[in-house]
Each structure stands twice: as C-alpha cells, then as structure tokens.
Homo-oligomer: A and B are copies of this chain.
Amino acid sequence: MSGRKQFDVDTALDQAMRVFWERGYTDASLDVLGSATGLGRGSLYGTFGGKDALFRQCLDRYASTYGTRYEQALTTHAGDPVRAIEAFFDVVLARIADPSVPAGCLIAQSAAQAPILKGDNSAHVRTLLDTQRRRVRTALTGPSAAPEELADELATFIVAVNQSLAVLSRAGASDTELRAVARLACQTVANTLRATPEHAACD
C-alpha cells in the first residue's frame, strides 16, 4: 500500500526518542523501535536512514523540545541568576516526575555511553552538553553576576547536578530526594554569588 506517507514523522520521532531514552542506544533494537513507532523497517530506513541517523535525529528532537523549555525558564528570570537556576531545575524536576515520559534524561543517558557511541554521535552528545552549559552560563550574567571564571565553573556545576538528577532518578530516587539535591545546588549558586569579592565590596 501507500504512495504518500502514512504517518507523522515528528510523532514517530517522539516515540523513537522515548525508546532510546528508556533503553539507551544499544538496547533500543529496531524491532522495539518499529513496535513503538508502528513502522516497518522499510519506512524506518526510508525516512530516517538507519539506526545511527535515527538516534541522532532523536537527540536533536530531545534537545530542541526540552532545550526550549530550559531556555524559557532561564530567560524568564533574566538578571536574577538564582531564580533562573531555580526555574531551570523546576523544569528538569517536572520532566522527571512526568509519568508519560521515561525516567532520567536522554542526553545524560547518551553522555554516559559516549565512549561506545560511534564517533559522530559521541561528538554530537558533547556538543549538546556544551549547548546546555552555555545556556546556563548566559543566565549567570547580569547585575548580580559572578566574575567570568567563576560563572564558567558554576555553569559546569549546574550541568553536572542536572546529570546527577537523571542518573539518580533512574536508580529509583524519590522526588523528595531529587528536590533536595536541586535546592542545595541552588544554594551553592546563591552563596557563591554572594561571596564574590566584587559584590561584597559593592553591597
């Protein structure tokens, strides 16, 4: 049958994305991907071009979908780094608590497997992580910003804690525990910014 596509590409990408998200690259077999998307192998290969290519497109869709939410949370409180980071973690925790989506984080999942991913995809994951870092870094500038070097470190720290929330949630940590971790990370930001010499002098 058919002559025009019988399915929505983005919907299929969403479903495939969840399979990679839940199971990681290797354990996401084409059979499972086919079942989840409702597509046969012909459609899968004709549309996306193979497992590697499909995986990369799922990474991009994930980064786009949730990256947008992060961006929004961070920029809503522009000029107030602590509030921005709090909003960032609120989005992360909401995603983790969302039962309609797997635990953890596709980027974190992929980062943990980066050494075994084929070259292109491994580098791609690193790029996505760096994008996230840069986004957080931007939110740390503003009136009560830290010196550049410290802001870089804080941004890496926030990204790191974000990864840890993904790992711990996969290991069955409760929402309460994850919230406590995020709160402590926010306090780190607050304390670090407050302790900055420049501002100690300005206050």
Q: Are B160 and A112 in contact (CB under 8 A)?
A: no
A24 / chain B contacts, CB cutoff of 8 Å:
24, 26, 112-113, 116
Give CA–CA (A111, B170) in the complex, Å: 7
Q: A58 CB to closest chain B CB, in angstroms?
A: 17
Say whether A131 faces chain B, with CB atoms less than 8 Å apart: no
1/0 per residue A122-166: CB within 8 Å of B? 000110010000000000000000000000011011011111111
Q: Which one, A75-83, A84-92, A185-193, is touching chain B?
A: A185-193
Which secondary structure characterizes the binding site on chain A?
helix
Give this chain's copy count.
2
B103 near A171: Cβ-Cβ < 8 Å = no
Please tell me which stretch of A9-17, A43-51, A65-73, A176-184 contacts chain B, meaning at least 4 of its Cβ atoms lie within 8 angstroms of it: A176-184
In the docked arrangement, what's the CA distance between A109 and B108, Å? 11
Residues in B with CB closer than 8 Å to A153 are 177, 180-181, 183-184
Q: Write out the residue numbers on chain B whose beta carbons fall within 8 Å of the beta carbon of A157.
A: 180-181, 184-185
CB A194 to nearest CB in B, in angstroms, measures: 10
Residues on A lying within 8 angstroms of B by beta carbon are: 22-24, 26-27, 102-104, 108-109, 111-116, 125-126, 129, 153-154, 156-157, 159-168, 170-173, 177, 180-181, 183-185, 187-188, 191-192
